[in-house]
Amino acid sequence: MANIFPYSQVSKNEITMVGSRTFEEFVEEVRRFHSYPAPGVVLGGFMVEKAKTYMPEGVLYNAIAETFSCLADAIQLLTPCTIGNGWLKIIHLGHFALSLCDKSTGEGVRISIDYNRLARYSEIKSWFFKLKPKNEQNEDKLMEEIREAGSWILRTSAVSVNTNDLVLAKKKGVILCPSCGEAYPIEYGPSCMGCQGKGPYVRWSR
């Protein structure tokens, strides 16, 4: 039995790519941006690159991350979509899944995990399903499994979104809050969201 992983993408001697980057280059990029080479961002890299293969050349697309952790950073590193330019939306469902959708048609592709195929990758499986405490994870083995499993453990679905949901609402104007003096979008009501009690601060010395 020459290869117990007949479906695996790579042998140890091959170079694994994440799109146009080598696996090692991408891990380094994740380390710089995300502050540590989180397995979720690294696996997310394969997910983003798989999704990109379904977007025809020249098509402008938006991205949706279905969890607020990890995947958003893979999207921001590997596509033009960022949280700040509004082309990346996080709709937190707690799913380890993402989609890319054509801006003009709403048609797109959703990438998630093929749980059946995780059976071959014990460390990915136990990380993904939180089967053991973090300090018992074998991080090197996890990363090596992700490198080897790559896009083979991914599942692809066709999805479409309402294109209206991809467009950022146009602000109607900006006024100063009569209560605190802070500028805010006029459509938010007679006072700003901070004065409506939505702010994060417990103390604020102006």
Binding site for a second copy (CB under 8 A): 33-36, 38, 41, 64, 66, 68-74, 76, 80, 82-87, 89-97, 99, 106, 110, 112-113, 115, 128-130, 157-162, 165, 168, 171, 173-174, 176, 182-185, 188, 192-194, 198-206
Q: How far apart are CA 32 and CA 91, in angstroms?
A: 25
CB closer to a second copy out of 16 and 185: 185
CB closer to a second copy out of 89 and 120: 89
Minimal distance in Å, beta carbon 193 to a second copy?
4
Positive or negative: CA dihedral 132, 36, 116, 156: positive
The amino acid that residue 203 corresponds to is R
Residue carrying the six token digits 């071959």: 120
Count the Cβ atoms, other than its own, within 10 Å of residue 86.
13
Eight-state DSSP code of residue 10: -
CB closer to a second copy out of 141 and 155: 155
Q: How far apart are CA 30 and CA 76, in angstroms?
A: 10
Minimal distance in Å, beta carbon 4 to a second copy?
25
